Structure 1
């Protein structure tokens, strides 16, 4: 039995130097389509060719290759985090919220692999 139920979307987040250039590359080379550029947050999202899988591009001055982080959507991030912490899962700092957009929390699996959970706030959730 799982501690947390996730929704029907997974986002794979990558750090990139230039989101706009990267988005263009993913469109031209892999046929992905741009969903949104959120310049204030340094974030872009693209639909991949796999149903339910989104590519997130987070802008960083010096991205490190091999930095993919799966981001699992949850209906209620506070409840999900509480359940995971209750089961002994280690989190990296507090939950971060961008009002009207998203709430995010970074956590680690038993081997130290970084993951995130996210609640979409743009749909009134």
Structure 2
């Protein structure tokens, strides 16, 4: 069963207090390149210096340090989620959709580590 891979990109998502300040830090300190700020979604994304690896910054009032979430792209989030649920994978709530942008669903591995699947709706 391979429902996770759709492209050559993985995004590591971090919770931060201020995406704009954090994005500037990652640009100035580590040389990452800003891809975009999506203010209505509370999301910023940077391309790291490693091909195929992006860094996503999600704004949180009280971020939990050390909490990173790998986000795997899927072609069809409904199909991927159903296959994972049939394998008894536990999800954290419903799939969230930001119209014209992305659909996201958070799930957990057997040790409780958060992972996410995402379908790009902008294509």
When normalised by structure 2's length, the TM-score is: 0.96
Q: 1:75-94 CA deviation, whole Å, 9 max, x = no partner?
A: 11000001010111111111
Q: Could you list the runs of 4 or more consecutive aligned residues of structure 1 that deviate by over 4 angstroms after TM superposition? A: none
1:5 shift after superposition: 3.7
- Say whether residues 1:58 and 2:58 are aligned partners: yes
1:28 shift after superposition: 0.7
| Contact residue 3 and residue 84 of structure 1 kept, 8 A | no
The equivalent of 1:6 in structure 2 is 5
| Contact residue 4 and residue 117 of structure 2 kept, 8 A | no
Q: What's the RMSD between the two structures over aligned residues?
A: 0.8
Q: How do 1:1-125 and structure 2 match up within 5 A? A: 2-7=1-6, 8-123=8-123
**Alignment size in residue pairs:** 122
Provide structure 1 residue ranges, at least 5 long, that are not aligned to the other structure.
none
Provide structure 2 residue ranges, at least 5 long, that are not aligned to the other structure.
none
